[in-house]
Amino acid sequence: MIVFASFVPHSPIIIPEVGKENLDKLSDTIKGFQSLEHEIYVAKPETIIVVSSHAEQREGSFTINQAPNFNINFKEFGDLLTNISFGNDIGFGYQVKELCEDYFPVMMTAQEKLDYGTGVPLFYLTKHLPTVKIVNIGYSNLSHEDHFKFGQIIRKQINRSGKRVAIVSSGDLSHKLQVDSPAGYSARAQEFDQKIIKLLNDKKIDDIINFDPELLKESGECGYRSLLVLLGIISELNYTPKQLSYQAPFGVGYLVENFEIR
């Protein structure tokens, strides 16, 4: 059963040994993660599925990381202290692949070191879940509808498994909110962020799937497709969206959204 679902950002800046003096600028985002950490601890998942925009991607295929064990560190960002390990729920990944065979390809990868899009959320959300198993999923360049369908197939496997499963969709909103943003500036960037947030909170899933392609392209986002997979997973559940924070001090939209499962 699905016991927890959230959409979160993944900026390495919120890792204490990386962000340091910049942490205060993202205090609301960190508080949002802390609130989620309490919720996921209470939910007691056996497995956490993380759909990351920075997981390994293959042309025309979703990916599932099947390395037996995972490691998280942020050495490439200057953090030499953080080192966290998890086991992989390997059987779950293979079962999802089998269910997808009639719809679209799923490639198995084997990367022991998790990408930061997966690592940053797990750093905050697993502080009291040291033995939880992880499933690490990467999205594809397939259609929006295929991403939503992929989520529905994952939900089917969750129901079959009988496990308590948490879903974490990792991604940032627009990367073009300021003139010094990493992807440049767009006058429509804030429009994108606010539309996505409103549609999420209004539970307008069809409108998110059929989102304006021009505005989507203009935004420079990296979380839309991971969000579609999440929505496919929870679409038939009784859930309540709850926005915990939204910040953009560095020109990138960081949304922390909880989907309270009823």
| Mean pLDDT, the chain cut into blocks of 10 residues (262 residues total) | 98 96 96 98 98 91 97 97 98 96 95 98 97 97 97 98 97 95 92 98 98 96 97 98 97 98 93
- Count the Cβ atoms, other than its own, within 10 Å of residue 102: 7
Q: Which class is domain 2-261?
A: alpha beta
For the chain, strand residue ranges (E) read 2-8, 47-52, 62-65, 69-74, 79-88, 106-109, 133-138, 165-170, 239-247, 254-261
Half-sphere exposure of 234 (CA within 13 A, CB side): 30
What's the pLDDT at 40?
98
With contact defined as beta carbons under 8 Å apart, do 218 and 177 qualify?
no
What's the pLDDT at 181?
86
Q: What are 228-262's pLDDT values in tens digits?
A: 999 999 999 999 999 999 999 999 999 999 999 99
The one-letter code for the residue type at 240 is T
Report the C-alpha gap between 247 and 169 in whole angstroms. Answer: 17
Report the C-alpha gap between 118 and 103 in whole angstroms. Answer: 26
With contact defined as beta carbons under 8 Å apart, do 209 and 148 qualify?
yes
Nearest Cα to 192, choosing from 216, 227, 228? 216
Q: What is the domain partition of the chain in residue ranges?
A: 2-261
Q: What are 118-143's pLDDT values in tens digits?
A: 999 999 999 999 999 999 999 999 99
Report the C-alpha gap between 155 and 67 in whole angstroms. Answer: 22
What's the pLDDT at 231?
98
Entry pTM: 0.97
What's the pLDDT at 253?
98
What's the pLDDT at 180?
87
With contact defined as beta carbons under 8 Å apart, do 143 and 97 qualify?
no
CA dist 195 → 174, 199, 202, 204, 232 (Å): 11, 6, 10, 11, 19
Tokens 């697993």, residue located: 126
What's the pLDDT at 236?
96
